[in-house]
Amino acid sequence: MTTPPQTRSDAGLATALRISVSRLARRMRAQRLASGLEPGLSDTQLAALSALERHGMMTPGELAEHEKVQPPSMTRVVAALEERGLVVRAPHASDRRQVVLTVTEQGKDVVRQSRRLREAWLAQRLRELTAEERALLRQAAPILEKLSQS
């Protein structure tokens, strides 16, 4: 597979990745919304819920840091999730000034179903690629994860 001319420079690669990743994220978001599974949940709310489901108990500050959002924004996100019965607050074991957040069973179900639907959609798109293209994506996945965490 040859490298397209526009991605030979770092700037060109950055542009191509920005466009492709943004487009893929939009397509996955549209697929999630079309499923009607979690009506009214924003991307930030679902991301926060997913982080709690994956990592277990976290303080609101830890969750804000993990999701790279400001604490006041996370406060609003958590309030919305709590209002829907998807997360609960509990006193922190060692710091009375803090609370910890935990996903409820209903919240876990929402995350799991959403994840299943999005992964099924993406798996179908991957089946449309050649074996060589899928192999390249397997190699790129850890690099994209590294970029997402930096």
How high is the mean pLDDT in each 10-residue block of the chain (150 residues)?
68 90 87 72 91 93 92 93 95 85 94 89 94 94 87
Q: Centre a 10 Å sphere on the Cβ of residue 78 and count the other Cβ atoms it contains.
A: 22
* Domain architecture of the chain: domains with CATH: 9-149 (1.10.10.10)
Determine the pLDDT at residue 88: 95
Determine the pLDDT at residue 126: 94
Q: At what angle do helices 105-127 and 43-55 cross, to 10 degrees?
A: 110
Determine the pLDDT at residue 38: 63
Determine the pLDDT at residue 6: 65
Pairwise CA distance, residues 30 & 32, whole Å: 5
Pairwise CA distance, residues 87 & 23, whole Å: 30
pTM of the model: 0.76
Determine the pLDDT at residue 96: 81
